[in-house]
Amino acid sequence: MTDTATRPPQIGRIVHFALRARQANMFLVLLFSLFIGLVFGGFLIILTTPALMTSWGHFFSHPGGTISSSFNTIWFAYEQLFQGALVNFHSLRLLIDNPSKINLANVLAPLSGTLTYATPLIVAGLGLAIGFRSSLFNIGGQGQVIVGGVLALLVSISFNLPPFFQVTLEIIAAVIGGALVAGLAGVLKAYTGAHEVIVTMMSNYTMVLILGYLLITSVFARPGVHDGASKAIEVSGQLPYFLSHLNSALLLNFGFPIAFVTVLAVQWFFNRSKTGFQLLMVGQNPDAARVAGIFSRRSIIICMALSGALLGLAGMLKITGVDHLATPNFGGSYGFDAITVALLGRNKPWGVFFGAIFFGVMYTGGAAMQAFTPTNIQFSLSQVIQAVVVFCVATPALVIEAFRLRDGASLISTNGSGGWV
């Protein structure tokens, strides 16, 4: 390293800026988390690509080649991931050269896929964030998504209203369904002390089984077909696409604006509503809430019900906007993805919004990466990177220490879970 005096002044300024930038803030923690995730993923790529491993075996005979080939492989994979999820540079160039409808559609395609995937996740993540803010862990997202989706499907099967009313009714049914399921966990927590983690977890499995049963009943099953999938949602009950005039493959639908509005609503709820404030108080300091005359049992139930309501809505958005029918695997891993999205977004509505979009990026980008890398780097690598990122974000103390960030204390919360019963 050169002496400070001999450095050109610009470098000094950069160093100074870099030092100041080491002041810990959430943005830096996120950035470093992403960095750690990508590095970890890179190692996995090297370890699981036989050609690279062979070349590392002869590392000492040509170290440069080994490093550059490894770097190129990793870079190419991440490039595919990025282009597949956000913007494809090739189609962008085509669009600039030749602005046509079809080229525009091609440019929008990756983003449309990402946002479509992210839409239900935004709402589900918001539901979780409501719970987390009150120190309640609603692990039952999967079950509540199922309930929301199934009730929306039921409405679509049972009624035949004009599209607007049909969709509204679906939303109402899904919201109420989700709220009831999670609210039950809240009631059990408030009155018997049953830990919501276990109760909601078990409700997941129960709901999956009930879904499995419902799909073979005459109400939901298509007559004569035994593939496990339900009747489809009628067009009047579907959320309309809004880019389909460009290309019918663009699946972005009106669920996205609904999710957007939900973000605003939750933002309002957190900052401006009385109930939201009370829930925050109960979560942060239940004793002080009690002194201030807030009935904590009621808060617990309301909080769980609201959380469930949003997860129910997420299920509705998924079935009416994306899937259009229910399969036994309808709930997917939504519950856990929603938890991690909420963690990633630090329980802030806009944080959750971008957290879910990050998940969408990893999902669609992961698929692209699998399809376009010569060695078929599997989709699940994106999930690993995602998990590492969330891990780092969940324990900011680790990142702060690893990168020697300063004044990180405010980012580290040390609240315990407080046990089970």
Partner 1 sequence: MKLELRGITKRFGSMTANSNVNLVVKPGEIHCLLGENGAGKSTLMNILYGMLTPDEGQILVNDEIVTIRDPKDAVAHGIGMVHQHFMLIPVFDVADNVILGSEPVKPWPVIDYKTAIAELLVLAEKYGFEIDPRATVENLPIGTQQRVEILKALSHDASVLILDEPTAVLTPQETDAFMVILRSLKESGKSIIFITHKLREVLEIADVITVMRLGEIVGVTTPSETDERGLATMMVGREVNLVVDKNPATPGDVVLDVKDLFVEDERGLTSVKGISFEVRAGEILAVAGVQGNGQTELVEALTGMRRPSGGEVILNNVNLHGESVRKFLDAGIGHVPEDRQRFGLVLSLSISDNLVLDQLDDPKFHNRFGRNLKAIKLNGEQLRKEFDIRSQSAEEPVGALSGGNQQKVVMARELSRELKILICSQPTRGLDVGSIEFMHRQIVAIRDSGVAVIIVSSELDEVVALGDRIAVLFDGEIQDIVPPSTSREDLGLLMAGAHSREVSA
Partner 2 sequence: MATVSKEIVTLSNIRVVSRARSLAYGIALMVLGAIEILWYGGASSKLNTIVQLGYNTATVMPAVGAVWRIALLLIGGGITYLAIKPQTLASFAKAITTVRGLRSVAAIVGAYLVIWPVLLWAGVNHGGQLRTFSLPVATTGYVLGAVSIATGVLMAWRRVDRSASGLLYGGLIVFMLGFLIWVARGSLPLQLTGILASAVAVSTFLIFGSVSGTLCERAGVVNIAIEGQFMAGALSSVVFVSVFHGSGMSKTLALLLAGLFGALFGWVLAVMALRYQANQVIVGVVIVAFCTAMSQFLMTQVLDVHQNLNGSFGLPVWSVPVLSKIPVLGPVLFDQNVLVFFAFAVVIISSFVLFRTRWGLRVRSVGEKPIASETVGIDVIRMRYSAVIIGGFVAGIGGAGFTLGPGSSFNYGMTSGYGYIALAIMIFGRWRPYGALMASLLFGFTIALSANLNLYLGQLVIPQQFISALPYVITILVVSGVVGRIRPPAADGVPFQRN
Beta-bridge partner residues of 253: 241
Stretch that binds partner 1, among 59-67, 214-222, 272-280, 348-356 (CB under 8 A): 272-280
By beta-carbon proximity to partner 1, the closer residue of 216 and 292 is 292
By beta-carbon proximity to partner 1, the closer residue of 85 and 343 is 343
Q: Choose which of 159, 378, 403, 411 interacts with partner 2 (CB under 8 A).
A: 378
CB-neighbour burial class of residue 23 (10 A; exposed 0-12, middle 13-18, buried 19+): exposed
CB-neighbour burial class of residue 222 (10 A; exposed 0-12, middle 13-18, buried 19+): middle
| The entry of partner 2, partner 1, none that residue 268 binds, CB within 5 to 8 Å by partner kind | partner 1
What DSSP string describes 278-330? HHHHHHH-HHHHHHTT--HHHHHHHHHHHHHHHHHHHHHHHIIIIISS--TTT
Least separation in angstroms between residue 62's CB and partner 2 is 26
Q: Which among 377, 352, 354 is positioned nearest to 367, based on CA atoms?
A: 377
Q: Choose which of 5, 287, 293, 404 interacts with partner 2 (CB under 8 A).
A: 287
Distances (CA, A) of 70 to 42, 74, 386: 9, 6, 21
By beta-carbon proximity to partner 1, the closer residue of 86 and 294 is 294
Q: Is 278 in the site for partner 1 (CB under 8 A)?
A: yes
| The entry of partner 2, partner 1, none that residue 195 binds, CB within 5 to 8 Å by partner kind | partner 2
CB-neighbour burial class of residue 378 (10 A; exposed 0-12, middle 13-18, buried 19+): middle
- Cβ partners under 8 Å of residue 358, min gap 6: 344, 386, 389
Distance between CA 46 and CA 42 in Å, rounded?
A: 6
By beta-carbon proximity to partner 2, the closer residue of 169 and 188 is 188
Site size for partner 2, by CB under 8 A? 62
By beta-carbon proximity to partner 1, the closer residue of 47 and 292 is 292
Phi, psi of 406 (to 5 degrees): -105, 155
3 state SS of 241: strand
Least separation in angstroms between residue 413's CB and partner 1 is 9
| The entry of partner 1, partner 2, none that residue 218 binds, CB within 5 to 8 Å by partner kind | none
Q: Per-residue string for binding with partner 1, 293-332, x by CB under 8 A?
A: xxx-------------------------------------
- Cβ partners under 8 Å of residue 339, min gap 6: 128, 137, 139, 141
Q: Choose which of 29, 109, 182, 280 interacts with partner 1 (CB under 8 A).
A: 280
Least separation in angstroms between residue 298's CB and partner 1 is 11
3 state SS of 253: strand
Q: Name the amino acid, one letter, at 230.
A: S
Least separation in angstroms between residue 156's CB and partner 1 is 34
| Calculated CA dihedral for residues 351, 332, 239, 163, nearest 10 degrees | -130
Residues 197-216 that bind partner 2 (CB under 8 A): 197-199, 201-206, 209-210, 212-213
Residues 380-409 that bind partner 2 (CB under 8 A): 380-381, 383-384, 386-388, 390-391, 394-395, 397-398, 401
Q: Choose which of 168, 273, 333, 380 interacts with partner 1 (CB under 8 A).
A: 273
Q: Choose which of 8, 162, 224, 418 interacts with partner 2 (CB under 8 A).
A: 418
Distances (CA, A) of 395 to 30, 124, 388: 11, 22, 11
Quick one: tokens of 151?
Answer: 């009730």
Q: Is 291 in the site for partner 1 (CB under 8 A)?
A: yes
Q: Choose which of 343, 361, 367, 405 interacts with partner 2 (CB under 8 A).
A: 343
Residues lying near partner 2 in the complex (CB under 8 A)? 44, 48, 137, 139, 188, 190-195, 197-199, 201-206, 209-210, 212-213, 282, 286-287, 290, 296-297, 333, 336, 339-340, 343, 377-381, 383-384, 386-388, 390-391, 394-395, 397-398, 401, 412-421
Residues lying near partner 1 in the complex (CB under 8 A)? 268, 271-274, 277-278, 280-281, 284-285, 287-295
